[in-house]
């Protein structure tokens, strides 16, 4: 077999990186459960008509078909891999509404697929960690204020740079645009959402070209998008622009509640950023994006928002609010800058030295005794000089080597970092707590 060519956009972490990922996911999961979110996993595929009914996603969806599919077969029920976890969740709620207790709080940590152009921190297959709350008919607004607090706690549990959650409210934007006299606020939102990619001059030109804005209206939209505050002072800045609208008032009131809750809970966690729009069409109110300190140029690593009409069927409506951590996106950026490290590249904490091959059964019994007590252990791969077996452990960052006693002598264990060697019994010995499992930390 010739050497394979890597596929871009489909990350495959090395074992040490994979252990970091698992550690990060476990901490995120634990935080979600502390807030009472229940686990859920939905299927990887959805009908294409469901995937394409909300937002400009048609270019991102991977279609699923059999290799030997009959060319004449019906395709109206074609399937695609899901591009996020919110659309499948909405479908799940509709299918299972009679079995769920509302408000329903769930988390999902799953792979998703998008046909994007791969680049640093952006992949075509990646892991997301989502939380959402949905209710029947009406969802109380206090869940919008809770979302960033959960994420703030999740990020605080991780050895990553400081995170700032940027918040806005689409009602602020839409109300402002309508107050200006612009008749297609959705197009304005989509255009303003490109600010970081193409800059204000090109956004202004696009607003004139695609949204029917005058130069003055485009300038006003850019002034609104430039407002950024760490407290509720954004309200006065919006008012100073001289635009009035009832929806704008409603959005400002809601945004103040989110910012005030975040400021009280964790000062510096939340920032009102009025250029945030989010590209998916199903968001209707609060929207969130998250940046890591030092990595702002790479954009958001955690996003979401409020949606009123994503989960609807006939007269039934299940409004919700959710937020998603791009786990692969975040880790890809941090791995690329060598910002994370792990204390060893394998789970093993102890290597049992093998004096001779015929003693392997006795060494296996020692390893089993340690494993039964939750200590990750392996027996040396071959009977070699002890120096070579110690180097085997050193290369993998394994801290301890166990030496079986000979001729009635007690077993000993050596901390190969310090050189300390003491007598030990496999039925009672335990490593220090910090050596029991690999430790993830900032590099």
Residues annotated within a binding site for L-histidine: 84-86, 114, 128, 132, 278, 282-283
What whole-number distance in Å separates Cα of residue 390 and Cα of residue 92?
Answer: 53
Residue 331 backbone dihedrals phi, psi, to 5 degrees = -70, -35
Rounded-to-integer distance, Cα 98 and Cα 5, Å: 49
Structure tokens given for 337:
């800058």
Going by their DSSP bridges, the two strands 320-326 and 340-342 should be labelled as unpaired
For residue 241, count CB atoms less than 10 angstroms from its CB and return exposed for 0-12, middle for 13-18, buried for 19 or more.
Answer: middle
* CA 157 – CA 151 distance, rounded (Å): 10
Q: How far apart are CA 274 and CA 234, in angstroms?
A: 9
Distance in Å from the first CA to the final CA of the chain: 37
Q: Which of 115, 250, 241, 103 lies closest to 172 in space, CA to CA?
A: 250
Structure tokens at 439: 């430790």
How buried is 322 (Cβ within 10 angstroms: 0-12 exposed, 13-18 middle, 19+ buried)?
buried
On the CB side of 87, CA atoms within 13 Å amount to 24
Q: How many CB atoms lie within 10 A of CB 120?
A: 11
Distance CA 425, CA 390 (A): 20
Tally helices (H) and strands (E) across the chain: 15, 21
Q: Of 334, 440, 338, nearest to 121 (Cα)?
A: 334
In angstroms, the CA 29 to CA 94 distance is 25
Residues making up the binding site: 84-86, 114, 128, 132, 278, 282-283
Please, are residues 60 and 114 in contact by the beta-carbon 8 Å criterion? yes
């Amino acid at each position: 077999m010739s050497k394979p060519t890597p596929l871009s956009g489909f990350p495959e972490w090395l074992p040490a990186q994979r252990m970091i990922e698992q550690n990060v996911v476990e901490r995120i999961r634990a935080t979600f459960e502390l807030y009472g979110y229940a686990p859920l996993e939905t299927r990887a595929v959805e009908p294409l008509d469901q995937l394409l009914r909300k937002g400009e996603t048609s270019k991102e969806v991977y279609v699923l078909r059999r290799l030997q599919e009959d060319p004449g077969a019906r395709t109206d029920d074609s399937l695609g891999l899901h591009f996020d976890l919110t659309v499948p969740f909405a479908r799940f709620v509709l299918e299972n509404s009679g079995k769920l207790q509302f408000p329903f709080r769930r988390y999902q940590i799953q792979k998703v697929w998008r046909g994007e152009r791969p680049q640093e921190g952006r992949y075509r297959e990646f892991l997301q960690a989502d939380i959402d709350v949905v209710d029947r008919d009406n969802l109380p607004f206090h869940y919008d204020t809770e979302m960033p607090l959960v994420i703030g706690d999740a990020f605080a549990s991780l050895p990553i740079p400081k995170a700032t959650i940027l918040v806005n409210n689409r009602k602020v934007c839409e109300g402002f645009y309508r107050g200006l006299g612009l008749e297609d606020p959705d197009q304005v939102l989509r255009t303003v959402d490109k600010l970081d990619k193409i800059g204000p001059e090109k956004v202004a030109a696009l607003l004139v070209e695609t949204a029917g804005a005058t130069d003055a209206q485009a300038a006003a939209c850019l002034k609104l998008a430039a407002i950024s505050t760490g407290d509720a002072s954004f309200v006065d800045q919006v008012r100073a622009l001289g635009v009035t609208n009832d929806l704008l008032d409603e959005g400002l009131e809601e945004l103040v509640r989110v910012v005030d809750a975040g400021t009280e809970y964790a000062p510096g966690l939340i920032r009102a950023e009025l250029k945030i729009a989010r590209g998916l069409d199903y968001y209707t109110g609060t929207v969130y994006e998250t940046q890591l300190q030092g990595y702002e140029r790479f954009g958001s690593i955690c996003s979401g928002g409020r949606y009123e009409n994503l989960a609807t069927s006939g007269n039934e409506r299940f409004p919700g609010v959710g937020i998603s951590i791009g786990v692969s996106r975040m880790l890809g950026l941090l791995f690329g800058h060598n910002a994370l490290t792990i204390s060893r590249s394998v789970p093993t904490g102890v290597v049992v030295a093998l004096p001779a091959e015929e003693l392997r059964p006795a060494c296996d019994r020692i390893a089993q005794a340690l494993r039964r007590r939750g200590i990750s252990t392996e027996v040396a791969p071959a009977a070699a000089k002890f120096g070579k077996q110690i180097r085997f452990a050193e290369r993998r960052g394994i801290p301890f080597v166990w030496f079986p006693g000979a001729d009635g002598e007690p077993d000993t264990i050596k901390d190969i970092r310090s050189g300390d060697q003491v007598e030990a019994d496999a039925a009672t010995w335990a490593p220090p707590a910090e050596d029991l499992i690999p430790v993830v930390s900032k590099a």
